[in-house]
C-alpha cells in the first residue's frame, strides 16, 4: 500500500515582492500552523522511510502549538536527525516545498472543504466514514484473501 502526505490544508500562498522563490503563507489556524506545515514538508523530503515519516508526522500533529519544540521531541522519540528538517523549514527551500503542496491541494477536484481530506485511490468520496474508520475504509478495498494482517484486528 502506498500513501502520500500533503501538508497544506486551507492555506493561501502569497509570492513576496520582488519575486524570486520567496513566499508567505496564510493558514487557517495562523502562523504556527504554517510553520508546522513547512516542517512537515521538509520532513517528507528528508525522512526516507515512509513508516518512520508517518510516525513522526503523527507525533507532531498531536501537539503543533510549539512546532519546533514538538519537532525536536518527536525526532528524539523516533531517532530522526531533525537538523536538516529545521534548516529546510526555516529557509526558502521550505517555502518552495510548501508552495508545491499548495499547488497539489488546489488541483484537487472537488476542492478541499475540510481538513484532513483523505483521498483513497484518488477519490475523496465518503470522507465522514473514512475519518471515523480509516483502516476499515482501506481494508474494504482489498479482497478478503489478500488483506494486510492489520485488517484482521
Please list the rounded mean pLDDT of every run of 10 residues in the chain (153 residues).
89 87 92 96 97 93 89 97 98 97 94 86 86 87 87 79
* Nine-digit cell string for 111: 476542492
User: Residue 116 has what pLDDT?
Assistant: 87
Contact 137, 128 (CB under 8 A): no
User: Residue 72 has what pLDDT?
Assistant: 97
Taking the C-alpha atoms of residue 52 and residue 95, their distance in angstroms, rounded to an integer, is 23
Amino acid at each position: 500500500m502506498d500513501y502520500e502526505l500533503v501538508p497544506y490544508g486551507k492555506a493561501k500562498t502569497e509570492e513576496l515582492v520582488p519575486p524570486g522563490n520567496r513566499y508567505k503563507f496564510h493558514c487557517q489556524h495562523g502562523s504556527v500552523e504554517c510553520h508546522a506545515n513547512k516542517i512537515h514538508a521538509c520532513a517528507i523530503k528528508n525522512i526516507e522511510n515512509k513508516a518512520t515519516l508517518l510516525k513522526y508526522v503523527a507525533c507532531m500533529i498531536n501537539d503543533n502549538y510549539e512546532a519546533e519544540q514538538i519537532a525536536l521531541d518527536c525526532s528524539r522519540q523516533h531517532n530522526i536527525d531533525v537538523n536538516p528538517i529545521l534548516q529546510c523549514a526555516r529557509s526558502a527551500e521550505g517555502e518552495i516545498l510548501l508552495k508545491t503542496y499548495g499547488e497539489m491541494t488546489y488541483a484537487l477536484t472537488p476542492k478541499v472543504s475540510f481538513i484532513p481530506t483523505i483521498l483513497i485511490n484518488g477519490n475523496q468520496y465518503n470522507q465522514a466514514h473514512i475519518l471515523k474508520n480509516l483502516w476499515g475504509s482501506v481494508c474494504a478495498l482489498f479482497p478478503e484473501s489478500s488483506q494486510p494482517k492489520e485488517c484482521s484486528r
